[in-house]
Amino acid sequence: MPWALGGVELGEDVLEVGPGPGLTTDLLRPRLTRMTALEVDAALAAALAARLAGTNVTVIHGDAAAMPFPDARFSGVVSFTMLHHVPSPDLQDRLLREVCRVLKPGGMFAGVDSLQSLVMRLVHIRDTLVPANPQTFPARLAAAGFCDVFIETNARAFRFRARRPA
């Protein structure tokens, strides 16, 4: 997470897209005033909601490609190693457009996702694996409405950040 969020200002009301069991939620929530976690898997969402009841996190069961939030709702949005679980590039692009829609003007979208590799393919046997290409991801973010796009890769992953225009 430090690599993904280094130097990123998220604001006080942050959305985490695809928290799964909430490992990154647990790391991020002490640093935030208010957080919403949007999880597509009903069982994971229910377990996370029960575990985080009474905290600064609200857990919502829903689809990130069709978010149940009003326009310009969040000061920042994060996504940690979940984009490759979205079953098609078209749905990934819909998710990116939805993130831009729910961000306040000037808000930051930041995250990290894994690069395609043999290990990734083996880990995802019988699971969805649609890796995003970090070379084409900047254009996809721009097409979704973002500006100030930044991408950086290491041996296993890429981090990204992009801003909704003010």
pLDDT for residue 108: 98
pLDDT for residue 148: 97
pTM comes to: 0.92
Task: Please report, for the chain, the start and end positions of each structural domain, with discontinuous segments joined by +.
Answer: 2-163
Residue 35 pairs in a beta bridge with: 14, 57
Average pLDDT over residues 54-72: 97
Per-residue pLDDT of 4-44, as tens digits, reads: 898 899 999 999 999 999 999 999 999 999 999 999 999 99
CB atoms within 10 A of CB 56: 12
DSSP 100-150: HHHEEEEEEEEEEEEPP-HHHHHHTTTS---PPPTTTHHHHHHHTT-EEEE
Q: Which CATH class is domain 2-163?
A: alpha beta
Per-residue pLDDT of 110-132, as tens digits, reads: 999 987 765 666 665 776 777 88
Largest Cα–Cα separation, the chain: 42
Locate 50 and state its tokens. Answer: 């029960």
pLDDT for residue 101: 98
Report the C-alpha gap between 100 and 35 in whole angstroms. Answer: 17
In a 13 Å sphere around the CA of 73, the CA atoms on its Cβ side amount to 16
Say which residue the tokens 């973010």 belong to. 141
Per-residue pLDDT of 64-112, as tens digits, reads: 999 999 999 999 999 998 997 888 999 999 999 999 999 999 999 999 9
